[in-house]
């Protein structure tokens, strides 16, 4: 199994703008459930710590193989989500690793 973790900081000049962006990102990625072959689990977490170095949102996902993760990267539904979110992010961090 491959674990794919992505963390973002979201654009927004006010707390309300940032919260709207976080909600939009969360909804967009949750829409991928059941649509991408090999995507076993998808979870979106929103930071509650409010620590200045924390990211705003994390995506935790599991794929049945590296091939499934590679296919996800170019899957039309994933590309749709990326297009919808446009320049919503101001920072992005990613880690992919083989479990166990």
User: Quick one: how many helices (H) and strands (E) in the chain?
Assistant: 3, 4
Predicted confidence at residue 1, as pLDDT, reads: 96
Which structure tokens are listed for 91?
Answer: 């920072």
40-86 confidence digits (pLDDT tens): 999 999 999 989 999 999 999 999 999 999 999 999 999 999 999 98
Measured CA angle at 65 (ends 1, 62), to 5 deg? 50
Instruction: Look up the CATH number of domain 2-98.
Output: 3.30.70.100
Give me Rg for the CA atoms of the chain.
Answer: 14
Query: Which pLDDT score is estimated for 50?
Result: 87
- Alpha-helix residue ranges (DSSP H) falling in the chain: 15-30, 66-74, 76-85
Query: What are the boundaries of each domain within the chain?
Result: 2-98
Would you give the distance in Å from CA 57 to the centre of its chain?
A: 8
Q: Given this model, what pLDDT does residue 98 score?
A: 97
Pairing status of strand 39-46 against strand 57-63: antiparallel
Token readout for 35 is 């649509």
pLDDT of residue 100: 76
């Amino acid at each position: 199994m491959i674990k794919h973790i992505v963390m973002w900081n979201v654009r927004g000049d006010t707390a309300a703008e940032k919260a709207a962006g976080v909600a939009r990102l969360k909804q967009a990625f949750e829409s991928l459930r059941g649509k991408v072959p090999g995507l076993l689990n998808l979870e979106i977490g929103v930071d509650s710590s409010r620590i200045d170095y924390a990211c705003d949102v994390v995506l935790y996902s599991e794929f049945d193989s590296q091939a499934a993760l590679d296919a996800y990267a170019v899957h039309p539904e994933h590309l749709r989500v990326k297009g919808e979110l446009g320049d919503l992010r101001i920072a992005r961090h990613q880690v992919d690793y083989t479990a166990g």
